[in-house]
Structure 1
Amino acid sequence: MSTRSRHICYFFDYGALSLYSLGSAISYSAYVFPDAWVNSTFHAYYISVAVLNTILSTSLACYSRLGLPFLHYNHDIDERFSERQSPRLSKVLRILAFAYPYLFDNIPLFYRLLLCVGEGCTNNEANSIHIQHTLLAFLTAFLFATHLPERLAPGRFDYIGHSHQLFHVCAIIGTHFQMKAIEADMVLRQTQLLATAPPITFNNTVGSSLVCVCISLGIICLYSLPLLYGSSETHPAKTEEKKCKH
């Protein structure tokens, strides 16, 4: 795979992660919000803000990789892109791009688990599963940010046990517990949510997701265009050079 293709594939990866964050927000809005916050002002604007967060997340993650399209890089990017110029800043921006939507999505869950006292706190069997998911999510972020354990023993974890492997394992297991917790809330709170929660509509589910997909694809195309532009002009030049050498 060429360097340019690799960057474009990562752009799509960032867009998919942003879509996942919106999916979490949609599910949390429907089933996880504590009773005290159902139909609140925050609940009314929660998904709209989550859609904006996906736009910010995709844009910031793509920017952290190459900078601004056409301004900071073009088709010939070998010497100019963010990861080489400022690797630490690039890493911080990428972590921020995905940590912020996650933290926003989980505001109602954090309140429910950590701060809420008394009536309307939704204390049920799903809470313990939510805690498992939350711990694994923070462990995932920790592994991604610290590059442990390979930093402690360079060369010993090149094939098995390095942070990127552990990061994906924790992310998958954490997502499993997240889905189990949402399913538990859906079953345990079904009667109450049908009576009190706002209706689940096309606009706050599929419609929001389609908006996210379309805008994220637009952002990905914008960041990918400089990598593709000029490729047709580069190959003939290389062909002529080869002919001259012969």
Structure 2
Amino acid sequence: MSADFLQRLSTLTLSVKHLGRLPCLSDLIPSSLPSPSPTVTANQVPILFREPYILSGYRPIQQDWRCYLLSLFQRHNESLNIWTHLLAGPLLLLRWWANAGTLGFTLDAASLPLSLFMVSSLIYLCLSVAAHLLQSHSEHAHYFFFFMDYVGVAVYQYGCSLGHYFYASEPAWRESIGLLFLPGGALFGWLSCAGCCFAKSRYRRPYPLQRKICQLIPTSIAYVLDISPIVHRLLTVSWTQEASLPFHALQIVSFLFAAFFFSCPIPERFFPGCCDFVGQGHQVFHLFLSLGTVFQLEALFRDYARRRHTVLELFGERQLWWACVSFPALFMCCILTALFTMRHVSKVLQSKQERNK
């Protein structure tokens, strides 16, 4: 070997040694940052946090709040519940940006219902992510974040009502129940929030059938009312004439599947412990709910493109503004309902702690 070759080899070796001293990603993270604890089995968490037929993958309670935030990147039995709705938000925003750019969308009275539908969709997705990400901290957090989740569902229901009424309803349908539709949508939206909050605070695990009834009856009535202009249109208008109708049909199918998997713990009921991380019915429910919202946005944009120049003529600017003012009013009523129920739950939890001392 020549001296020149040996010198080059020595230089290369020193370079490799220096590369080995470069900081890795873990060195860049502050050592004071808490790390989520390993997941535990169902019998290692209080009964409030246990889900039927889900035997493992639970996050231990009473950790630092940052541990639950960082558990976003941890594998646990809520991971897919979080990510299905977390990814749906950016997808909706991308579709909004694409459709708004194509239509030359401007924020005016005619576009307010569509904008509020989009806002309501992002609200329910964000509150759902917060509930599934942070509820494991404590019993108090569990109730609070799921009450907020119910607020998001109610607001989303009313956002759907606004979009369906102003962009997708037919004159014959409006002549029959049109005057009662938006007040009914607001009322049953609030009742769905109140019913879910009551059921959550009233019943303890293992939950009886009455809990599902309290949740599903007002929510189902709200959905039937909200979707009625769409069903009427699907049955009376030729699908070949309306580009939005196939997307409306897809959103209905998606929501029906979502309702089925929300109501039934399938497939984990038949395979206890096999769906702890992937495949739970609630995860499938989240997936179909997100898909339904995406299809709904696509359909409403097509309806808006067809009717945006006639909305003011059909409904009048005053009705549009009043309908949209009712949106934050319903939002505040639902928040107050959730906080009132939370106050009652807090007293119960405090009494429970005092008895255990």
Alignment of 1:101-116 (within 5 A): 101-114=222-235, 116=236
Is 1:62 matched with 2:197?
yes
Alignment of 1:53-202 (within 5 A): 53-67=188-202, 82-84=203-205, 86-114=207-235, 116=236, 123-199=241-317, 201-202=320-321
Is 1:6 matched with 2:142?
yes
Report the equivalent of 1:219.
337
Alignment of 1:31-70 (within 5 A): 31-38=167-174, 40=175, 42-67=177-202
Aligned partner letter, 1:204 = A
| 8 Å contact from structure 1 (residues 31, 189) kept in 2 | yes
Q: What secondary structure does 1:201 align onto?
A: helix
**Residue by residue, what CA displacement relative to the aligned partner does 1:201-243 show, whole Å, maximum 9, x if unpaired?**
32101x11121012112211210112334878988998xx7xx
After TM superposition, give the deviation of residue 143 of structure 1 in Å: 0.7
Report the equivalent of 2:66.
none
- Mapped to 1, the partners of 2:253 and 2:170 lie a distance apart of 20
- Mapped to 1, the partners of 2:304 and 2:193 lie a distance apart of 30
Report the equivalent of 1:203.
322
After TM superposition, give the deviation of residue 35 of structure 1 in Å: 3.6
After TM superposition, give the deviation of residue 132 of structure 1 in Å: 0.5
**Residue by residue, what CA displacement relative to the aligned partner does 1:4-57 show, whole Å, maximum 9, x if unpaired?**
22011111110110000000001111101024334x262223111111112211
- Mapped to 2, the partners of 1:83 and 1:185 lie a distance apart of 44
Cα distance 1:107–1:220, how it changes in 2: closer, same or farther (>3 A)?
same
Q: Cα RMSD (Å) of the superposition?
A: 2.6
Report the equivalent of 1:79.
none
After TM superposition, give the deviation of residue 104 of structure 1 in Å: 0.8
Number of aligned pairs?
220
Cα distance 1:230–1:194, how it changes in 2: closer, same or farther (>3 A)?
closer
Q: What secondary structure does 1:83 align onto?
A: coil
**Residue by residue, what CA displacement relative to the aligned partner does 1:97-132 show, whole Å, maximum 9, x if unpaired?**
322211110111111113x369xx995111111000
**Residue by residue, what CA displacement relative to the aligned partner does 1:83-102 show, whole Å, maximum 9, x if unpaired?**
33752211222122322211
Aligned partner letter, 2:190 = I
Q: Percent identity?
A: 22
Report the equivalent of 2:44.
none
Aligned partner letter, 1:18 = A
| 8 Å contact from structure 2 (residues 140, 349) kept in 1 | no
| 8 Å contact from structure 1 (residues 134, 174) kept in 2 | yes
Q: TM-score, normalised by structure 1?
A: 0.80
Aligned partner letter, 2:184 = V
Runs (4+) off by over 4 Å: 230-238
- Mapped to 2, the partners of 1:57 and 1:217 lie a distance apart of 13
Find the structure with the greater CA-based Rg.
Answer: 2
Q: What secondary structure does 1:84 align onto?
A: coil
Aligned partner letter, 1:93 = C
Aligned partner letter, 2:183 = S
- Mapped to 2, the partners of 1:126 and 1:237 lie a distance apart of 58
Cα distance 1:64–1:219, how it changes in 2: closer, same or farther (>3 A)?
same
